[in-house]
Structure formats: structure tokens, C-alpha cells
A and B are shown apart, each in its own frame.
Chain A
């Protein structure tokens, strides 16, 4: 998929309430290019619920049902069942949620919908915080990151949601990043063509949340992949395939850059560098990342 071949149609109208440089809006713009207008979205409490803008207007040109924070996947199960009963099963049902509504409060409904084999695409845009409510920690927040509820830096490592999803053995699970839109587009297109529950998680670098200049959103995503802090992969019927630079890192054809190359640009990790470099915590982050990649290498034995 080349840039020029991306569809022209915009399902998100300009003039939304999103922050400038918002990765969620960018990610959704790309997802909807892949899905088209025959799509119904279920959106729980998250940034996107605000990005839609205020009643009586909306910035989204497809049907959207907002629902309570923990209920996205359950709401989607209901929408999907109703559409099927009305012979509209070709309409794509998407649950679009943040990491809060996916990793934490929404995990039960998500697990249930996957286990019930609901025919939908669950897409988590992961900015690694509860962004909508003002940058509090979530289960997706990485170790040592500042948030308003982990002021000295988060003491725990993040959940590996990918592992949890893959334990449901659904037909398709993938990780993507807004900095690689063609890869994301392809993944969404592929998911659209598969019947059953699909899960895609998109890393969404958030300028106010991670504390970097709003023009550097794409850079932060690229660095996340190059340092191995995030991986691009697909898991189809339990077979893992890595994509792009992540594949090269997996196969040890290139060395992943030190995670320090990623975190040093983000104000949420500033305390690891100022007033002095916290070598211990930075090493802990590197070691953790090594472990993650070792686990990845053991998949598909």
C-alpha cells in the first residue's frame, strides 16, 4: 500500500476538539480510510469521546455510539448481533477505545466479547495514560513514567496486553503505530476481511501526556519502534509475524536502539536525566525491553 493509493475519503471532518498533533485523531483517520463509510463505531469514555466535539455537532461522519467507560466491547457485541439480525452483517462494527478502557476498566467486557467470538474489530489506541481525564497512570503506562498519579515515576512495569489478547486465540491480533500508517492501513484492511473477533493496538504518542512538542508525534512513534519499546506485529491464528523494523530487530538483523533514545525526548521521563542520570532505572527499562524481545523470539517455536 503506497501513500498515493490511500483513499481520499475523510470520515473525520476538520475542526474537531482534538489537541494539535493528536495521534488518536490521526490513527482514527487512517483506520476509517481502511474501513470506509459502511462502519459503525462504539466509543467508550476516552479522548475520542471529546474529540467528537459538542452536541449538537459531531466531527465524525460515520455512525458512532458513545457508551460508558467499561462497556465498549459489550456495546459492540450488542450492535453486531442486531446488525446481523437485520441482515446488515456486512457493516463493520468497530470498538475504538483508549488504553484505559482496554487494559483496565474495559478488560472484562473485552475478554468476554473475544471469548464469545463477536464479529468486530476492537481497536485500542494506546497513549499509555488516562489521557482524557488529564494524564493519570493506566495499566499501559511504562515503568518510571511520570503521570499525575505517579508523580515520582511509575513503580510497576506495564501490562503486556498483547499476551493477554493472544491468550484468547482470536483469528487476528496486531500491534501498530500511528507513525507507520501504511502498515496500520494494511492491518485494518486485513482485519476487515476476517470473520470473528480482531484486535489491533495502535501506539499513540500523546504530546501533552508524554510531554514533547506537538510537531514530534510521528518521531516519537518511530523511535518507539526503533528502540524496541513497541513492536509491530501480527498474530494470525496463533502464528506471529513481525513487521518492518520490528522484524529486523526480532531476527537480530539490526540492533534495537537503546530505549534511552526514545525516552530522553519525553518530559515524562525527565527525572531519569535531570538533575542527574538515573542509570539504575534506565538499565531496568533496557533489561525489561530485552526480556520482552526474548519472549517474542520464543513465539512460534
Chain B
């Protein structure tokens, strides 16, 4: 990545540009792997790209940045994903 010297509004790509957006969550998606049929609907419909598609087409969830919108649970055909309230902080 080449950085330019001129001082104007030039921004460089960074994961988490708006911070750890996982902190926004009220509910978190929880996957029941036994139910997953690897249809990848959740991966396709996640606006944040925080449903990670593994090599074998199973999925993992990037909780650092997942905003907890619940679209993945909503579109899952077999209800393998459920939305659970974030654990209360002590």
C-alpha cells in the first residue's frame, strides 16, 4: 500500500475502519453446526461479510465485527442459527 504525501482527504483500507463493531450487538447469532446444511444463504446475505465461509462450505462467525442484525438467522432455511442475547457484562 503506497501512502501519498499530499495532505488531503485520502483514506486507506482497514478492517474495522469504524472500530470493533461487534460491540454494537444486543443479540448474537449462534450456530448449531449439527443443523447446518451448508446452503451458504447466511454467507451470501450477511451485509458485513462477518459470516466466514470455510473451505468445506461450513461457516464461522466473526464476532469481532458482527453487528448482530439477525439476517443470517432470518434467512437460514433450517433454523441452524438462532439469535441469543449478548451475555450481560459484569
Contacts and interface: CB of A to CB of B under 8 A. Distances in A.
Nearest to A216: B74
Interface residues of A, number: 40
Nearest to A182: B44
Contacts of B45: 26, 181, 218
Given A6-B44, A58-B12, A58-B14, A15 B69 contact: no
Interface residues of B, number: 39
Interface in A1-52: 3-4, 6, 8, 10, 12-18, 20-23, 25-26, 29-30, 52
B47 A219 contact: no
A91 interface: no
B16 A22 contact: no
Interface in A43-71: 52-61, 66
Given A21-B71, A26-B45, A218-B74, A14 B62 contact: yes
A58 B13 contact: yes
A20 B67 contact: yes
B69 A14 contact: no
Interface string B53-85: 100010000101101111101110000000100
Give me the 9 closest cross-chain CB pairs, A-B, nearest first. Answer: A215-B70, A15-B16, A20-B69, A53-B17, A21-B69, A20-B67, A14-B65, A57-B17, A26-B47
Given A21-B71, A53-B17, 11 more contacts: A13-B14, A14-B15, A14-B21, A16-B17, A18-B48, A18-B67, A21-B67, A54-B18, A56-B11, A58-B11, A215-B71
